[in-house]
A and B are shown apart, each in its own frame.
Chain A
Amino acid sequence: MSAVTATDRNAKATAGATEREPVLEIRDLSIVYSGDVKAVDHVDLSLAPGETVGLAGESGSGKSTLALGMCRLLRPPAVITSGSVIYRGSRVAAGGVELLTQSSKELRKLRWREISIVFQSAMNALNPVLRIRDQLGDVLDAHLNLSSEERHQRLEYLVDIVGIPRDRLRSYPHELSGGMRQRVMIAMALAVDPEVVVMDEPTTALDVVVQREILAQIVELQNELHFGILFITHDLSLLLEIADRIAVMYAGKLVEVGNAEQIHNQPAHPYTQGLLASFPSVHGARKELAGIPGTPPDLSALPPGCPFVPRCRFATDDCRGVDMNIRPVAGSEANHFTACPFVTFESSKSTTGEAPAAVAATSRRRT
């Protein structure tokens, strides 16, 4: 296994940033719980201005930990043990700000104004005893210096852009429907004009119809206001629709990074292939849903090498010696990375929505 060089890492870090510098650059981030549980293991991720990056993975994969940890919102016993998180928004000093070295006070100024979060369950994330206008308003008061007239106008603007009637400003969270509450969360996230919005499963708790509406709303708002989105979900099919680039995590490690077409047409990790095979396509012949056999791993007792080995149908003995740094996919474009060294694509032509047989080329059956 070739060691990943610094050049590789640099290339990887700026992958997908095209011409501009990434507004958010996470390098080699590791987060540990209670000393031996590696929830996030040396992850690199970057977000270009206005880009939508999807973070996919199952429960326990570390994606929420990553998102909250990079903003330093995690609580003990979580500790960040390596890496850097550099934010390069247009309002901060040139060269960017290293979030991991900021004090609580400095972080407080950056929070929400630069990076905001839409939480999964709006019912839980909204303060039950405050009216909507107070919850939207206190973040305005904390970060902006508005006159009361401007403040009022801003509140009305915020509920307008997410499609909530203005009289709902006087309501309490429990008086709103689920969909409306999630819209409030989005309005709140956009309240002070952030450059990055982290969305942690924003539509998972909603029914399908409302899901569609909310997602459409999010896309529309992004086109208008040009903020970047880090979209976290277990639903890969969703990301294929709305994300520019997708990163797949398993057991705290990145296993694949690529843009939506690459992930869909040339999934370069057995886990990604498994995820793709887990949801049915509306077109084409009926096929049996494969799913991924086995259960998610115990993060305190990970085997050496690739953590996916117990569930991977292509696993070999060599897999135990894999170092999990991601590397460019052989046979694919330069900005497509995978952690599985055995994947090669014979050609760059896409196959029909079936799980590609590309991996068979250089693997040997496990003895």
Chain B
Amino acid sequence: MTPAMAEAADLVLVRAGRRGFVRNMPTKAKVGVGVLLLFVLLAIFGPLLATQNPSAATSIVENSRNIALAPTLHHLFGTDTFGRDVLSEWLFSLRGTVVLGLLTATIASILTVGVGVTAGFLGGIADEGLGLVMNIFIVLPALPLLIIVLTFLPNSGVVTIALVLALLGWSWGARVIRAQTLTLRGRDFVAAARENGERTWRLVVFEVLPNEVSLIAANFVGTFLYAVLTSVALAFLGVTPISTWTLGTMLYWAQNANAYIVGYWWMYVPPGIAVALLGTSLVLINFGLDELGNPRLRGSVGRKMLGGGRARGGAWRPTDATPVEILEPSA
């Protein structure tokens, strides 16, 4: 659809009725949400299923009999080079990573929306100033800075790490929210509400924010992904304290034990796949949110054709001519 066709097509289709929010959600997003929910469930209930608590002091003697075993019935994911059950580690790490991700995303989202909406709404010098701060944080490489800061905080817990991650990761989303707020501010309905004497904060909460929900959601998901990947990288480097078990911690131990070279694949494959799946689910959700916000991206495969069948030969190029399917002969 081009703007030139909007008159005919979009109006027509919009008037044809909104056919339901959930039904319209593309398959990709549904898969993503499903996988994410699975991870959240595992995060909540997983550690209950674990046979060991990897953080707890365990019997060295007991463990030394089980060093680096490949997966068995007793240890479904095998054991690591300290004899600890890898499945238990994995379950606890999942919780750690998911909690860290959610915490970071929440803190960052508060910052993002707060700064972004303020900047977009106030405009002028405040906007310029905040914009400058945002751009600086975007441009500065986060990982080296994180390494330095966390080295100074050797015993930080999950909350501290989440806070630091959020402080360095909020800015890119704020830019997007600010841009959207600027656009909305110029729209008629905001001016109308202002004319009606509506107070600024009410204006923001009830008029502006509802129009930005998909952006905020996409930002939340994106920050979650950033937190997961970055925390894994930090743990892998050995920067985050090993007392908190995250998937990165597992990979750190694997690297330490040279698991890649020696061949202890059960030490690094489960956490690696977990990160990949978790990350993929987040990316898919973002795909779905993208398509919701931008209808043009929807429906790349298979369109409902006459008679309900799928389009023949799915691919379509912009240089293709409008398809002609004569149903009944004309008089």
Contacts and interface: CB of A to CB of B under 8 A. Distances in A.
A and B in contact, CB less than 8 Å: yes
Interface of A: 6, 9, 27-28, 31-37, 39, 42, 59-60, 62-65, 68-69, 72-84, 100-104, 107-108, 119-121, 124-125, 200, 296-301
B319 interface: yes
14 contacts: A36-B16, A39-B12, A42-B330, A59-B7, A72-B321, A74-B322, A75-B1, A101-B324, A103-B321, A107-B321, A121-B3, A296-B15, A298-B17, A300-B16
Given A72-B322, A77-B304, A78-B322, 4 more contacts: A35-B308, A62-B8, A121-B4, A298-B17
Q: Identify whether the interface residues of B are mostly helix, strand, loop, or mixed.
A: loop
A152 B225 CA distance: 55
B316 interface: yes
Interface string B1-23: 11111011101110111000000
Contacts of A301: 16
B5 A74 contact: yes
A128 to B, nearest CB: 14
The CB with the most chain B CB atoms within 10 A, among A27, A34, A78, A124, is that of A34
Q: Identify whether the interface residues of A are mostly helix, strand, loop, or mixed.
A: mixed
B10 to A, nearest CB: 9
Contact of B321 (A36, A63, A102): A102
Contacts of A119: 4
Contact of B324 (A33, A100, A124): A100
B323 A80 contact: yes
B326 interface: yes
Nearest to A295: B15
Nearest to A58: B7
A303 to B, nearest CB: 14
Contacts of B305: 35, 77, 79
Contact of A75 (B3, B7, B318): B318
B277 to A, nearest CB: 33
Given A100-B324, A299-B15, A65 B5 contact: yes
A76 B311 contact: yes
A121 B5 CA distance: 12
Contacts of A107: 321
B4 A39 contact: no
The CB with the most chain A CB atoms within 10 A, among B319, B322, B325, B328, is that of B322
A68 B5 contact: yes
Contact of A68 (B4, B319, B324, B325): B4
Interface size class of B (residues with CB under 8 A): 35 or more
Contacts of B8: 39, 60, 62-65
Contacts of B2: 75
Contacts of B325: 79-81
A109 to B, nearest CB: 12
A35 B306 contact: yes
A121 to B, nearest CB: 6
Contacts of B140: none
A37 B13 contact: yes
Contacts of A33: 9, 12-13
A104 B319 CA distance: 7
B9 A39 contact: yes
B303 interface: yes
B327 interface: yes
B39 to A, nearest CB: 36
B327 to A, nearest CB: 5
B331 interface: yes
The CB with the most chain A CB atoms within 10 A, among B4, B306, B311, B319, is that of B4
A69 B322 contact: yes
A199 to B, nearest CB: 12
B17 to A, nearest CB: 7
A4 to B, nearest CB: 8
B320 interface: yes
A318 B283 CA distance: 57
A28 B327 CA distance: 13
Per CB-CB distance, the 7 closest pairs between chain A and chain B, nearest first, are A65-B8, A300-B16, A72-B321, A28-B330, A72-B322, A74-B322, A80-B324
Given A69-B322, A75-B318, A37 B5 contact: no
A60 B15 contact: yes
Contact of A73 (B308, B311, B322, B326): B322
A225 B307 CA distance: 46
Interface string B280-315: 000000000000000000000001111110010000
B303 to A, nearest CB: 5
The CB with the most chain B CB atoms within 10 A, among A59, A77, A104, A124, is that of A77
Contact of A60 (B7, B307, B326): B7
A32 B328 CA distance: 14
A298 B15 contact: yes
A9 B4 contact: no
A84 B12 CA distance: 24
A76 B316 contact: yes
Interface in B24-47: none
B12 A37 contact: yes
Nearest to A34: B304
Nearest to A297: B15
A104 B4 contact: no
A299 B316 contact: no
Contact of A82 (B5, B303, B322, B326): B326
